Amino acid sequence: METEVKLTKLANCAGCGAKVGAGTLSQILDKLPTLNDPRLIVGFDKSDDASVYVINDELALVQTIDFFPPIVDDPFIFGQIAATNALSDIYAMGGEPKLAMNILCVTKQMSQDTIYSILRGGYEKAYEAGAIITGGHTIEDAEPKYGLSVSGFVNPKRVLRNSSAKEGDVLILTKPLGIGILTTSAKADMVSEPVLKRIYEQMSTLNKTARDVMIKYDIHGCTDITGFALLGHSYEMAQGSKLTIHLDSSSVPYHPEAYGLAEMGMIPEGAYRNRDYAECGVRASKKVSVAMQDIMYDPQTSGGLLIAVSEADSVKMIKELKDSIPCAAIVGHVTKRDDYAIVID
């Protein structure tokens, strides 16, 4: 779809690469007061994907909000990706999204058709997820931004946290890495159209199927891999669980085109923020190349789920996942706490 203005030219950052660094964010949030409520079982103090408030023994409310600047020029695809990314936080908690509200910032250069297309893309993905967009808020801004505030439901006994992995768990990742490197390189016309089409389809693919499969098994923890990258989100999981995560770099799925671009230095700024945040807790084997480490620090937009599943269920679960998500892979395991939070082999 051709538009009268390239959306990515109106923004300084793109997608989840616009996120404030995890280290900076944690320092800010640590200073904020918290209101204790026994029904709030997951709040912002947990560094988790969404908040969870218990309504009764069988029902808990899951809430999240996510929005960002354009990562593509096509407004419809931008709307799809931004909505998919926001809905993912509910899936990462094991929940089902039910209600959503638009968050939209528009510039004076954007036509009504462009704005409509962004919203239509969001509505399509919300509909696919089974969620209803009930309204929202739109303001003028210097840069375009779009996303959703999403509410969903989960059984409070089945809430999945990013801090509850257990020793012996196997780690499964459901989408390949390299999105940030590829979208950064695309700005310099270094990525072919077929590759761009592939990553746009990936970013607009809901994590609903992965969620529907994983809740059948003995899952202990989960998070979605977005702006803080595989290593940033793994670091949060390891720190919260007080365990060590071992990642097998040879098993981590990634877009092969991203590797050569990483070797050329086409690294988004967010990757350096992620490295600054997590590197102190990471030990990488000498056999793990710098380019591969950059891919693992690369900020993802609408990435996959990182799932901590019991070893006993891991074989059956990965088999079922691969039936519908062929790129899903076992990427590591969890052990008792070592000197490092993350060990990469």
Q: At 56, which CATH number?
A: 3.30.1330.10
One domain for residues 177 and 315 = yes
φ, ψ of residue 317 to 5 degrees: the values are: -65, -45
CA trace torsion 81, 138, 103, 296 (10° rounding): 50
- Among candidate residues 128, 158, 188, the one where a domain is terminated: 158
| SS3 of the chain | CCCCCCHHHHCCCCHHHHCCCHHHHHHHHCCCCCCCCCCEEECHHHCCCCEEEEEECCEEEEEEEEEECCCCCCHHHHHHHHHHHHHHHHHHCCCEEEEEEEEEEECCCCCHHHHHHHHHHHHHHHHHHCCEEEEEEEEECCCCEEEEEEEEEECHHHCCECCCCCCCCEEEECCCECHHHHHHHHCCCCCCHHHHHHHHHHHCCCCHHHHHHHCCCCEEEEEECCCCHHHHHHHHHHHHHCEEEEECCCCCCECHHHHHHHHCCCCCHHHHHHHHHHHHHEEECCCCCHHHHHHHHCCCCCCCEEEEECHHHHHHHHHHHHHHCCCCEEEEEEEECCCCCEEEC
Under a CB-based contact definition with an 8 Å cutoff, are residues 102 and 146 in contact?
yes
Written as one letter, the residue type at 300 is Q
Q: Any binding-site annotation on 3?
A: no
- Where b means 16+ CB within 10 Å and e means fewer, 279-312 reads eebbbbeeebeebbbbbbbbbbbbbbbbbbbeee
One domain for residues 284 and 327 = yes
pLDDT one digit per residue (tens) for the chain, 345 residues? 444 567 777 666 665 555 555 555 566 666 666 667 888 988 776 566 788 999 999 999 999 999 999 999 999 999 999 999 999 999 999 999 999 999 999 999 899 999 999 999 999 999 999 999 999 999 999 999 999 999 999 999 999 999 999 999 999 999 999 999 999 999 899 999 999 999 999 999 999 999 999 999 999 999 999 999 999 999 999 999 999 999 999 999 999 999 999 999 999 999 999 999 999 999 999 999 999 999 999 999 999 999 999 999 999 999 999 999 999 999 999 999 999 999 999
Q: Any binding-site annotation on 212?
A: no
Domain membership flag for residue 262: yes
Burial of 128 (0-12, 13-18, 19+ CB in 10 A): middle
- Among candidate residues 134, 158, 182, the one where a domain is terminated: 158
Give the number of residues written for the chain: 345
One domain for residues 200 and 154 = no
Burial of 327 (0-12, 13-18, 19+ CB in 10 A): middle
One domain for residues 117 and 238 = no
Q: Any binding-site annotation on 289?
A: no
**Given the DSSP bridges, would you call strands 51-56 and 282-284 parallel, antiparallel or unpaired?**
unpaired
Is the full-model pTM beyond 0.85?
Answer: yes
Q: Any binding-site annotation on 48?
A: yes
One domain for residues 31 and 147 = yes
Q: Any binding-site annotation on 49?
A: yes
One domain for residues 60 and 180 = no
Q: Any binding-site annotation on 46?
A: yes
One domain for residues 57 and 192 = no
Give the whole-angstrom CA distance, residue 136 versus residue 262.
38
Domain membership flag for residue 113: yes
Domain membership flag for residue 198: yes
Which two tokens mark 123? 């509505």
Domain membership flag for residue 2: no
One domain for residues 147 and 177 = no
Give the whole-angstrom CA distance, residue 170 versus residue 335.
10
Which two tokens mark 124? 């399509």
One domain for residues 137 and 200 = no
Q: What is the CATH number of the domain that holds 211?
A: 3.90.650.10
Question: Based on the structure, what is the number of domains in the chain?
Answer: 2
Of the candidates 64, 12, 62, 15, the residue with the CA atom closest to the CA atom of residue 203: 15
Q: Which residues are catalytic?
A: 16
Written as one letter, the residue type at 287 is K
Q: Residue 60's domain spans which residues?
A: 7-158
Q: Any binding-site annotation on 174?
A: no
Domain membership flag for residue 85: yes
